[in-house]
Structure 1
């Protein structure tokens, strides 16, 4: 890794871009594959790439994964299996706007957990950046009318989505714990294999219950995209960014995901962009700038 590719800020932006596209691709494929099965196929592709690569480059670290098995298992169950499972389950009971607003709280939750368990400070500039980014996301999701928030009513689905965000926050903290003992590639590979072992039986059960499983060239291309870009590259780059900047500072980049989803929805789903989305997007970018601009010299690389 050299030049721009060493920048954790750039890699975090790219990771969130791929995750933003993930929502669009997932919507396009939603009628062809049920959610857990789509997620399982995505990680089958990812593991098929990650494991041979890690075995060739970092075989020694893979063979010593047991020394970190607890944190690696936690990464797999929270970031790969648990987060997606609860998110997909939750949106069956709640509205998309509710789920998105709760998802916007993820960076705050990560920073708060980092402060509680890792004693990671919350400098004023970071707090201001988080506030600006959160305001931008809310402005996008409410169409520029904050009064919409007053009409929202929380239901069990909202609590399920909140639990999903908690799992993602725990995943980010686990990544930081493992970073000092295993390489990014080895940790991502092992956690992916562990989570896939749990995800496959769930997928089998889902297909058996729903009877939905349609696989053609378009679906396979979508699965390949999800496996290569959303799983392998995005997770490797996210983990690198978390390890370099810390969970709290990296968390604010998650605000870019809904922004990218909006932009890609305009291009590929034919949805119209609103003035409120432009204004909110500018607030999001301002928040990312404020947060990532602090203590750049403290970033590490490997």
Structure 2
């Protein structure tokens, strides 16, 4: 029988993919009011404002470690905090929340593929089959079930941007393994967000001055930004790490498969999106590929559980 701490961990792990799904759904619903780069930048500024009072003492205490690993921290923050979320929000301009969540669910496949290419990780035949199956699932979602979309290069730009976002997260996960930074979780998250916001700042200012013109601060725009900062950011991170420590990384990793399920339901309820046959076929291929690619490699599952989305 699970202890009270484990029960709380399971509750948190059920909520975490709901927050990730909400990230895609709320982004899709508000991207017309808040430009993607503004959405990404101010999400992290708000999250940093909330975290800094708790994370700053750790940053000061571990400043020598941070200085020694500054290059790695900048690279990790660029691919995760800056690039991943900015691309996800950009994808929300031209594709559905359901597609975003389905493509996002393939992060474990990209992590395994890049670890094989860049780190020389050994892959078993079942894992190769799983990677192949998931890639076919991605193509099915991008093509919307119509092969001519791929052969005619007519894929939605948002789907391709989301593939780029997932690729960035895969690079982050592989770099995190190769260039691990020995910092406590809260300190690492705080410095990641701080550096990521600084990396985003010149890009955001360029977009603000020459392209998007920013957004009007109102209840319609402030509430989504607070949601992004608190729920898929801070709370998801806290719940996920508590799950890893309470029930183990392998069991924890399974819960991320709930994200596309939640996203589909939320998108139908709040955005009026509908599920098509290609969503079911592509989603089934992606899920089957994930199971094959991850079930027989426990070290990879541990790595996957520790590299949740910030």
Question: TM-score, with normalisation over the residues of structure 1?
Answer: 0.73
Which residue is 1:197 aligned to? Answer: 198
Matched, 1:262 2:301: no
Which residue is 1:278 aligned to? Answer: 280
- How far, CA to CA, are the matches of 1:154 and 1:270 in structure 2? 22
- How far, CA to CA, are the matches of 1:90 and 1:22 in structure 2? 12
- How far, CA to CA, are the matches of 2:162 and 2:49 in structure 1? 29
Query: SS where residue 181 of structure 1 aligns?
Result: coil
Question: TM-score, with normalisation over the residues of structure 2?
Answer: 0.72
Deviation of 1:168 after TM superposition, in Å, equals: 2.7
> Cα deviations across residues 45-86 of structure 1 (Å, max 9, x unaligned)?
211233222245676335631122111111111212233445
Cα RMSD for the two superposed structures: 4.4
Which residue is 2:171 aligned to? Answer: 170
The answer to whether the 8 A contact 2:21-2:259 is kept is yes
- How far, CA to CA, are the matches of 1:171 and 1:212 in structure 2? 28
Matched, 1:226 2:206: no
- How far, CA to CA, are the matches of 1:225 and 1:67 in structure 2? 34
The answer to whether the 8 A contact 1:134-1:255 is kept is no
Query: SS where residue 37 of structure 1 aligns?
Result: helix
- How far, CA to CA, are the matches of 2:163 and 2:47 in structure 1? 27
The answer to whether the 8 A contact 1:71-1:177 is kept is no
Which residue is 1:72 aligned to? Answer: 73
The answer to whether the 8 A contact 1:104-1:134 is kept is no
Matched, 1:184 2:194: no
Which residue is 2:150 aligned to? Answer: 149
Which residue is 1:3 aligned to? Answer: 6
- How far, CA to CA, are the matches of 1:60 and 1:144 in structure 2? 53
- How far, CA to CA, are the matches of 1:179 and 1:15 in structure 2? 24
For these two proteins, the number of residue pairs brought into alignment is 293
Gaps of 5+ in 1: none
- Say which is worse superposed, 83-92 or 73-82, in terms of deviation: 83-92
The answer to whether the 8 A contact 2:76-2:172 is kept is yes
Query: SS where residue 32 of structure 1 aligns?
Result: coil
Shift in alpha-carbon separation, 1:263–1:143, aligned structure 2, 3 A: farther
> Cα deviations across residues 88-110 of structure 1 (Å, max 9, x unaligned)?
66888xx649x969878755443
Query: SS where residue 117 of structure 2 aligns?
Result: helix
Shift in alpha-carbon separation, 1:155–1:214, aligned structure 2, 3 A: closer
Query: SS where residue 34 of structure 2 aligns?
Result: coil
Query: SS where residue 33 of structure 2 aligns?
Result: coil
Shift in alpha-carbon separation, 1:152–1:18, aligned structure 2, 3 A: farther
The answer to whether the 8 A contact 1:137-1:255 is kept is no
- How far, CA to CA, are the matches of 1:245 and 1:128 in structure 2? 23
Which residue is 1:45 aligned to? Answer: 46
- How far, CA to CA, are the matches of 1:235 and 1:121 in structure 2? 29
- Say which is worse superposed, 81-90 or 34-43, in terms of deviation: 81-90
- How far, CA to CA, are the matches of 1:281 and 1:14 in structure 2? 21
Deviation of 1:30 after TM superposition, in Å, equals: 1.7
Which residue is 1:287 aligned to? Answer: 289
